[in-house]
Amino acid sequence: MPVGILLADSGCDVNEIVNSARSRGTELVIPSKCSRTEQRYYDKELYKECHLIENVFRWLKQWRSIATRYAKRSDSFLAASISDLSSLSLTTRPKQTVA
């Protein structure tokens, strides 16, 4: 399955990952390590959105059943994850104002 964008932090800025992603035509959104002689361009605005993804995983880890993976079967684990994520979306809806 082709991936359009690879969003990662500078810890993933290794030649093997970069070359593999480029060979697949994937756009890299990975800041270059400071030790690189040639700094690679990346979309800084898109990289700023990375914290949203990290927040979801941090929130999921707060649910002990997800963090410790009590569900041994993949379908049970998926069901628990979907259930937890749906409760996240219910608690983080934007507040509507009544005019």
Q: What is the pTM of this model?
A: 0.54
Number of domains present in the structure of the chain: 2
The reported pLDDT for the residue numbered 96 is 52
Distance of CA 28 to the CA centre of its chain: 14
Cα distance between residue 3 and residue 28, in whole Å: 10
pLDDT digits (tens), the chain, 99 positions: 556 888 888 888 999 999 998 898 898 888 899 888 889 888 888 888 887 878 777 777 776 666 666 666 777 777 777 777 776 665 555 555 555
Write out the residue range of the structural domain in which residue 85 sits. 62-91
Q: Are residues 67 and 33 in the same domain?
A: no
Residue 38 lies in a domain: yes
Strands 5-7 and 27-29, bridge-based pairing: parallel
User: What's the CA gap between 18 and 36, in Å, rounded?
Assistant: 13
Beta bridge partners of 8: none
